[in-house]
Amino acid sequence: MKSYVFPGDIDESIMQIGAQPFLYMRTDAFSEINKESERILLDLIHCTGGRTIIYTGSGTGAMSAVVENYCTTKKKAFVIDGGSFGHRWFQLCEYYGVPAVDYTVPFAKEIDYADLESSIAKEQPDVFLCQHHETSSGQLFDLKEISRICHKYQVSLVVDVISSFLAEELSMDDLDLDICVTSTQKGLNIPPGLSVLFFSKKLDNYRFNHKGYYWDFDDNFSNLKRGQTPYSPATILYLQLHARLKQLQAEGGEQKNIEEVHRRARYFRTLCQQYGWDIPAENPSMAITGFQTRDTSERRIFKGLIEKYETYIMPGSIPGFYRVSHMGLQSDEELDQLAQRIHEFE
Ligand SMILES: *Cc1c(COP(=O)(O)O)cnc(C)c1O
C-alpha cells in the first residue's frame, strides 16, 4: 500500500509504538512526556513564552474549541472562506451564534488584499479566522499581508495552520498571531486523532468563555500545569507525537522537514508539467499538489489507483482534479511511478 493522502506513509519506528504496551496516563512519566511535547511544539512554531493545549480529537475539534472559548467572547468574526476549510470556520461561528462576515475567495485564487483591507475597515470585526493553506484547493494565503491588515485595525488573528505547520515557513512570533491550530495527521506525519492549539503569551490573562464542556480551555490549562489532561487522552497517539517531536528536535528543528516537503513538491510538479496537468492554485502551497487531469468522470483515477495498485490520492471537488500530499514519506522513484499510473487511467 502507498499513501499520498493524510498522513501519508509514516516512519516505521513511529508505527511500531502503536504495537507496544503503553504507560498509564495518570503518572509522572506521562506528565513529563506531555510537558516536553509542549516545549518542542512551541519551539517548532516559534511561539516564545506561549502555551499549548493538546486535544484528543481531530483538527475540527480544536477549531470548534477556538470558537466556543474565544470567538464567543468577541462581537464580530471575519472569516476567509476560500474553500471547504474556510467555510468550516464560518459554519462554526453560525453554530455558536457568533456574528460573522463570510468573505468568500474564489476557488484556488489568492485574496485581493486591497479589497480585504477595505472590507475590514468597513466591517470592524474584532476576530479574524483564516487558513494558512486552504487544503481543498492547495492555495497558500499570505499571512504577512493578513497580519499587517489585522494589526492595523486591531483585529485578533487566529489561523488554522493544520496543513502548513512543518510544511511551510511559519513563525507565530514574527507574524504576531494570537492562536494557531494544527493536527497530527498532516505535517507532523503521525496518525490522525490529536490536535494542537498554540496560544500567544499575549493571551496569558485572557478571560475565555465556558461554552463547551469537553473542550474548555481553562479546565485544560489547569490540568496541563501538572502535565495532565482532564479526560482520558489517546495515550498511544501522545507517545507517537512525542517520538516524532524528538525526531524533529534531533534534526535541529523544522527546517529540514520543510525543505524535504518542498523538494518532493517541486519534483512532482515537474512531472505534472510533463503530463500536461495544470496546477490551478494561484500561489500553491508545497504541502500538497492539486492538479487538473483530463479525467472527466468523477473519481475514475482515484478508484483505479486503489483497485489496481492499492494507492491512495485525494479526489477533489471538481471532476479530474486530484490532490497528492507531500507530507508523508515518498521518494522520487515512487513519485515517478505514481505519475505514470495516474496517466495510465487518464
Ligand atoms: C485537515 C484539515 C482540517 C481538519 O480536519 P480534521 O479532519 O478535523 O482533522 C482543518 N483545516 C485544514 C486546513 C485541514 O487541512
Please write the tens of the pLDDT for every residue from 273-294: 999 999 999 999 999 999 999 9
Question: Which ligand 1 atom is at minimum distance from the Cα of 134?
Answer: 13
The percent helix, strand, coil of the chain (3-state, each to 5) is: 40, 20, 40
Within 10 angstroms of residue 166's Cβ, the number of other Cβ atoms is 24
Question: Which ligand 1 atom is at minimum distance from the Cα of 192?
Answer: 9
Q: What percent of the chain has pLDDT over 70?
A: 100
- Provide the pLDDT for residue 298: 77
- Provide the pLDDT for residue 299: 86
pLDDT in tens, 221-232: 999 999 999 999
Across the range 71-82, mean pLDDT stands at: 98
Q: Which of 89, 105, 135, 188 to mutate to test the pocket of ligand 1 (most atoms within 8 A of CB)?
A: 135
255-275 and 332-345 are packed helices; what angle lies between their axes, rounded to 10 degrees? Answer: 30
Instruction: At 120, list the grid cell.
Output: 475590514
The DSSP secondary-structure symbol of 324 reads E
Length of the chain: 346
Q: What percent of the chain has pLDDT over 90?
A: 97
Give the residue, by CA position, lying nearest to ligand 1 atom 5.
Answer: 59
Instruction: At 121, list the grid cell.
Output: 475597515
Average pLDDT, the chain: 97
Longest dimension (CA), the chain: 58
Within 10 angstroms of residue 284's Cβ, the number of other Cβ atoms is 20
Beta strands 100-104; 194-199: pairing state: unpaired
Could you say which architecture CATH assigns to the domain 12-250?
Answer: 3-Layer(aba) Sandwich (3.40)
CA of 105 to the centre of ligand 1 (A): 18
Question: Which ligand 1 atom is at minimum distance from the Cα of 61?
Answer: 8
CATH superfamily to which 254-345 belongs: Aspartate Aminotransferase, domain 1 (3.90.1150.10)
pLDDT in tens, 20-37: 999 999 999 999 999 999
Exposure on the CB side of residue 266, measured as CA atoms within 13 A = 6
CA of 317 to the centre of ligand 1 (A): 16
Q: Which of 60, 90, 130 to mutate to test the pocket of ligand 1 (most atoms within 8 A of CB)?
A: 60
- Provide the pLDDT for residue 55: 98
- The answer, yes or no, to whether residue 316 has pLDDT greater than 90, is no
310: left (phi over 0), alpha (psi -120 to 50) or beta: left
Element (H, E) at 36: helix 28-45
pLDDT in tens, 187-244: 999 999 999 999 999 999 999 999 999 999 999 999 999 999 999 999 999 999 999 9
Give the residue, by CA position, lying nearest to ligand 1 atom 6.
Answer: 59
φ/ψ of residue 54, rounded to 5? -105, 120
Measure CA 74 to chain center.
24
What does each C-alpha distance from 204 to 49, 91, 221 come to in angstroms? 9, 28, 10
Across the range 9-23, mean pLDDT stands at: 96
3-state secondary structure of 206: coil
> Can you tell me which residue has the cell 510544511?
167
Domain ranges of the chain: 12-250, 254-345
Pocket of ligand 1 (CB under 6 A): 58-60, 85, 131, 135, 160, 162-163, 183, 186
CA of 90 to the centre of ligand 1 (A): 14
Across the range 102-108, mean pLDDT stands at: 95
- Provide the pLDDT for residue 160: 98
φ/ψ of residue 141, rounded to 5? -90, 160
CA of 262 to the centre of ligand 1 (A): 20
Rounded CA-CA distance 35/46 in Å is 16
Across the range 154-172, mean pLDDT stands at: 98
Those residues whose C-beta lies under 8 Å from the C-beta of residue 14, and which sit 6 or more positions away, are 189, 190, 240, 243, 244
